[in-house]
Amino acid sequence: MNIVVTGGAGFIGSNFVYYELEHHPEDTIICYDALTYAGNLETLQEAEKNPKFRFIHADIADRQAVYDMFEKEKPDIIVNFAAESHVDRSIENPEQFLKTNFMGTGVLLDACRKYGIQRYHQVSTDEVYGDLPLDRPDLFFTETTNLHTSSPYSASKASADLLVMSYHRTYGVPASISRCSNNYGPFHFPEKLIPLMIINALNDKKLPVYGTGENVRDWLYVEDHCSAIDLILRKGKAGDLFNIGGHNEKQNIEVVKIILKALGKPESLIEYVADRKGHDRRYAIDPTKIREALGWEPETRFETGIQKTIEWYLTHKDWWQHIISGEYMQYYDRMYGNR
């Protein structure tokens, strides 16, 4: 099969490229990526050595480029990871989020209608459900929880999900959707919580923690997300919607302290900063449906996954040092000043 992975030069997309090349060597993997600030060809260096891998540098919102790709590559499957993905950047400037996350998804769906496809899979997020109260640990997001978004990022992702469902129902595009909790692991862009804290701690810089640090995220090791999507593609069917998560809820401050301890750095590096606007309190996924329907289980416990992740950042300093020396530094200064 020809599998097109849009956004495959980013964090989860690149992990998915490697997962597919390893587990399905019979398939051809075509990464289609605009290489925004979050896309990185260095991440795909190993994949480039594989004759079953190809890279196309283009934008999912560019209709002609998407149609050209369909004519040339004749994809059997599209997995759409391409997105503007950082909530803080969506608060600063929502426009690009609407263009890529909503309009770009629409262009991909139009191409599926025009040329046909075996499966279109939309990689979505638990953030489409909004948040849960901190004092109700009995509540979880299920696939029937109402959409109730908080940020321009999550609103753009929820809108895209609705578009996918409408193309499935109206035009019969064979589409599926997965909504995953927060991922962590190799190739995670340094602006996100876990890599930010690892890198700042390694550099003995302050660790900026929003508000009181009590907000809860439900963490999943990125490879477990990849295995879930792979199962949905191969064992799921058109029209499927699955939540993905591993019951790994942690307060942000707990995660920060685990990282400091693992690196042997003092908690005095922690600095509480003004809270994110509209900050979601708690995310928690109920993954019962995917477990019962497809037999999916996460394999990596948080304690193991965080150690592997820290180890990866220690052994791949070149990768993140190249990133933090560029545009990223201007973003960092805007967000956190000279901390």
Residues composing the chain: 339
Radius of gyration of the chain (CA): 19
301: nearest Cα among 223, 230, 228: 223
Write the DSSP assignment of 256-268 as a string of letters.
HHHHHHHHT--GG
111: nearest Cα among 55, 52, 171: 171
Candidates 30, 75, 89, 104; binder of ligand NAD (CB under 6 A) is 104
12 or 201: CB nearest ligand NAD: 12
Asked if residues 315 and 307 have their Cβ atoms less than 8 Å apart, the reply is no
| 309 forms part of the interface with ligand NAD (CB under 6 A) | no
Residue with nearest beta carbon to ligand NAD: 10
| 35 forms part of the interface with ligand NAD (CB under 6 A) | yes
Asked if residues 181 and 220 have their Cβ atoms less than 8 Å apart, the reply is yes
| 61 forms part of the interface with ligand NAD (CB under 6 A) | yes
86 or 269: CB nearest ligand NAD: 86
Residue 102 gets which letter from DSSP? I
Stretch 5-34: interaction string toward ligand NAD, x if CB under 6 A: -xx-xxxxx-------------------xx
| 90 forms part of the interface with ligand NAD (CB under 6 A) | no
229 or 260: CB nearest ligand NAD: 229
125: nearest Cα among 46, 70, 180: 180
Which of the ranges 111-119, 181-189, 256-264, 295-303 carries the binding residues for ligand NAD, by CB under 6 A? 181-189
| 306 forms part of the interface with ligand NAD (CB under 6 A) | no
| 201 forms part of the interface with ligand NAD (CB under 6 A) | no
226 or 310: CB nearest ligand NAD: 226
Write the DSSP assignment of 231-243 as a string of letters.
HHHHH--TT-EEE
- Pick out residues in 114-133 that bind ligand NAD (CB under 6 A): 123, 125
| 151 forms part of the interface with ligand NAD (CB under 6 A) | no
Helix (H) or strand (E) holding 170: helix 152-171
Angle at which helices 327-336 and 317-324 pack, to 10 degrees? Answer: 70
Residues binding ligand NAD (CB under 6 A): 6-7, 9-13, 33-36, 38-39, 59-61, 81-85, 100, 104, 123, 125, 157, 180, 182-183, 189
